Amino acid sequence: MSLLHKINRDTAPRHIAIIMDGNGRWAQQQGEDRLFGHNFGVEAVRETLKAAQEIGVEYLTLYAFSTENWNRPKEEVDGLMDLLVRTISGEVEELHESNVIISSIGDTEGLPTSCKEELEAAFERTKNNTGINLILALNYSAKWELIRATKQIARLVKSGEIELDQVDDDMMASMLSTRGIPDPELLIRTSGENRVSNFLLWQIAYAEFHFTEVLWPDFKREHLYKAVLDYQSRERRFGLVSAQLEKNT
C-alpha cells in the first residue's frame, strides 16, 4: 500500500505549516552557489502543494522569508526576491487552474515593489477559488506580529473601545496576520535543524512537530505523506490524560 493510502483523510491536519530549510547546504553539496538551491526549492514547493491537495489539507503555510533573512548577503537577498517575483508570475495561472487560493502573512509592505505587485495580482486572480489555501510567510516573524497585535490591543484599550478584561485568546488571535485561519496541527521543518526560528509562535502552541533531515530541495510528496502519518500516530492530549481521551471517543 502506498503511503498516501495509509493516511486517514478524516483525521488529517487541516493546516500544515512548513519551515523550508536547507537550500543553501543542498547547493553546497552540489558545488553550486546558494541561489541554485533556492531555485530547486521551488520544485519541492510544487510537490508539497500537490501532496497537500491529495490529502485534503485546507491550509498550507510556507515560511519563505523571515525578517532576519534580510541580514544575509545582498546578492542572496536580491536573488530570493527575484525568484519570488519570477515564481509567482510563472505559476499563478497553473495555481489558479488547480483552484488554489494564494495569500500571505508577514510585513509585505517591506517587500520590493515588484514583489508586492506580483503578490497582489496573484491574490486577486485566485481570491474566488475554493481549494487549498497556500499561505506564503514573507518578511514574516512571530515577534513582529505579536508586537503589532499587542500595540493594536493597547490602542483599543486606551481609546476606550474595549475593556482590558475583554482581552482574551480569541481577541489576540484576531489581531495576528493569521486571523481567520485555524492554527496548524502539524509543523514540519526540514534540514535537521530542531528550532522554530521565529515562526508562528502563538499559532503552534499545540502543534505537533515533525523534524526531518531531508534538505528542502529534496523534499518530495512521500516526505509529506510520512510527516502526516507521523502526526496521525501521535496522541494529542491538550492537557488531559489518555483515559479521558478514550472516554470521549
Give the strand order in the sheet containing 59-66: 101-105, 133-140, 59-66, 15-19, 186-189, 208-211
CB nearer to ligand IPE: pick between 7 and 223:
223
CB nearer to Mg ion: pick between 21 and 218:
21
Beta bridge pairs of residue 61: 17, 135
Q: Which helix (H) or strand (E) segment is 125 a member of? A: helix 113-126
Least Å distance, CB 246 to ligand IPE, is: 38
Q: Is 87 in the site for ligand IPE (CB under 6 A)?
A: no
CB nearer to ligand IPE: pick between 128 and 194:
194
Query: Annotated catalytic sites, by residue?
Result: 21, 69
CB nearer to ligand IPE: pick between 23 and 48:
23
Q: Which helix (H) or strand (E) segment is 138 a member of? A: strand 133-140
C-alpha cell of residue 81:
526576491
Distance, CA of 91 to CA of 96 (rounded, Å): 9
Q: Is 63 in the site for Mg ion (CB under 5 A)?
A: no
**Among the listed residues 21, 91, 118, 208, the single contact to ligand IPE using CB under 6 A:** 21
Residue whose CB is nearest to ligand IPE in the complex, by number:
24
Least Å distance, CB 137 to ligand IPE, is: 7
Helix axes 34-55, 74-97, angle to 10 degrees: 30
**Chain residues 105-164 in contact with ligand IPE, contact rule CB under 6 A:** none
Q: Is 65 in the site for ligand IPE (CB under 6 A)?
A: yes
Query: Applying CB under 5 A, which part among 13-21, 108-116, 137-145, 155-163 lies near Mg ion?
Result: 13-21
**Among the listed residues 191, 203, 204, 210, the single contact to ligand IPE using CB under 6 A:** 191
Site string for Mg ion, 15-34 (x = CB under 5 A): ------x-------------
Residue whose CB is nearest to Mg ion in the complex, by number:
21
Write out the residues near ligand IPE by the rule CB under 6 A: 19-25, 63-66, 69, 80, 191, 193, 195, 197, 216
Write out the residues near Mg ion by the rule CB under 5 A: 21
